[in-house]
Chains A and B, each alone.
Chain A
Amino acid sequence: MSKNKIAVLSGKGGTGKTTISVNLAKTIENSIYVDCDVEEPNGHLFFKPEIEIEKDVNVLIPEINYEKCTLCGECAKACRFGALTKLIKKILVFDHLCHSCGACYEVCPYNAITEIPKKIGTIRIGQSDGIKFIDGKLNIGEASGVPILKEISKEISDCKKNIIIDSPPGTSCSVIHSIEKSDFCLLVTEPTPYGLHDLKLAVELVKEMKIPLGIVINKSGEGDKIIEEYSKEENIEILAKVPFDREYAQAYSKGELLIEIDENLKEIFKGLSARALELINK
């Protein structure tokens, strides 16, 4: 079976990326669910996976060897992030300002800098009822989740399954790294002016990256028209509508999969996965 990589993103937070991702992963056969929302990964609440492997994700930060250091200050000059300051008797290193670019290590004329690992988060790999599960978690206060996304990317590069990427909100670096090399992007939106506004940003990003895309309206209902008009203008297909329903919200709040509580939703997700795979392989 050929593998497909489908990324779920939205621009706006809280539209239902995780809801769509977990239910889609459960619907598509032979799938792997990948939670790339490393600042607030919560797909595990729905899958309750058995974690088999947990790996630290490290970045490299400089350590000064004072037996070699002459306090020439080249490292502090080279650092674009102000992470190194030269004092009269030592070099002060600010770990949390360091972006691990390695410039200090490269420029040091006396080889007095060693790059040492610093843990910024973890990735977890497991199983949940036949579905493979991966998520990443960034430690609080760290500057960027991108190193974690790169580790996740390595884990799934040889994967022969259908990959469902649960992307972070927004349109910045971490989203770009999450959806990179996807075969298709599902843009989840809600039928509100806020949903539409951020959907437009996400569409702009995905078009820029030249990835085929489709829209899913979550919490669908009266306001759908504004999304429908936009999708017509932009010629983007709406692949599915998940209705707004109090019962669904309750199931969600308990960490239940929607397709397991409602036959109608099960069909909606079957239709969504079939159409997405069809569009990828056409």
Chain B
Amino acid sequence: MKIAISSEGNTLESKVDSRFGRAKYFIIVDSDTGEYKVIDNFAALQGSGAGTKAAQILLDEGIAYVISSNVGPNALEVFQAADINIYKAVNGTIKENIDEFKKGTLEKILMPTNNGHHGE
């Protein structure tokens, strides 16, 4: 089962990037094997539509869950249409968030956390 987390750096010790669409990296952790893969989020460079592009990158990786902090309306619509749940990250590293996720303590994000940035 693959879990994608928005990340400021490229290791499990990196901090969660609070942005979704414009996160620097995504780290995809396989919860069964503990292996992980780092993805450079090229969607962050988009003028607009970063959220939907980033969501597409993750869908193409076959992820089952997403952990991030600020998810806008467009990305949320993509994940909801794809039946993928998003969880709100807690302050800390990627590894700590994976542990919290496994314990079931992370909250689901059901509403956009902002109204979109309109290319800003």
Chain A: residues with CB nearer than 8 A to chain B?
Answer: 73, 76, 79-88, 90, 92, 94, 97, 143
Q: Is B23 an interface residue (CB 8 A)?
A: no
Chain B 19-51 against A: per-residue CB contact (8 Å), 1 yes, 0 no? 000000000000000000000000100111111
Q: Are A82 and B59 in contact (CB under 8 A)?
A: no
Contacts of A87 in B (CB 8 A): 59, 78, 81-82
* A97 vs B48: C-alpha distance when bound (angstroms): 7
Chain B: residues with CB nearer than 8 A to chain A?
Answer: 43, 46-53, 55-56, 59-60, 74, 77-78, 81-82
Q: Are A83 and B52 in contact (CB under 8 A)?
A: yes
Q: Closest approach, in angstroms, between the C-beta of A138 and any C-beta of chain B?
A: 14
Contacts of B51 in A (CB 8 A): 82
Q: Interface majority SS on A: helix, strand, loop or mixed? A: loop
Q: Closest approach, in angstroms, between the C-beta of B44 and any C-beta of chain A?
A: 12
Contacts of A84 in B (CB 8 A): 52
Q: Which has the most chain A C-beta neighbours within 10 Å: B47, B51, B52, B81?
A: B52
Contacts of A92 in B (CB 8 A): 52, 77-78, 81
Please provide the 8 A-B residue pairs with the shortest distance between their CB atoms, ordered closest to farther: A82-B49, A82-B52, A82-B53, A81-B49, A97-B49, A85-B78, A85-B52, A87-B82
Q: Are A81 and B77 in contact (CB under 8 A)?
A: no
Q: Are B48 and A86 in contact (CB under 8 A)?
A: no
Q: Closest approach, in angstroms, between the C-beta of A4 and any C-beta of chain B?
A: 37
- Decide: A82 near B74, CB < 8 A? Known: A97-B48, A97-B49, A97-B52: yes
* A2 vs B81: C-alpha distance when bound (angstroms): 59
- Decide: A97 near B74, CB < 8 A? Known: A81-B48, A82-B51: yes
- Decide: A94 near B49, CB < 8 A? Known: A85-B55, A86-B56: yes
Q: Closest approach, in angstroms, between the C-beta of B100 and any C-beta of chain A?
A: 28
Nearest residue (CB) in A for B118 is A143
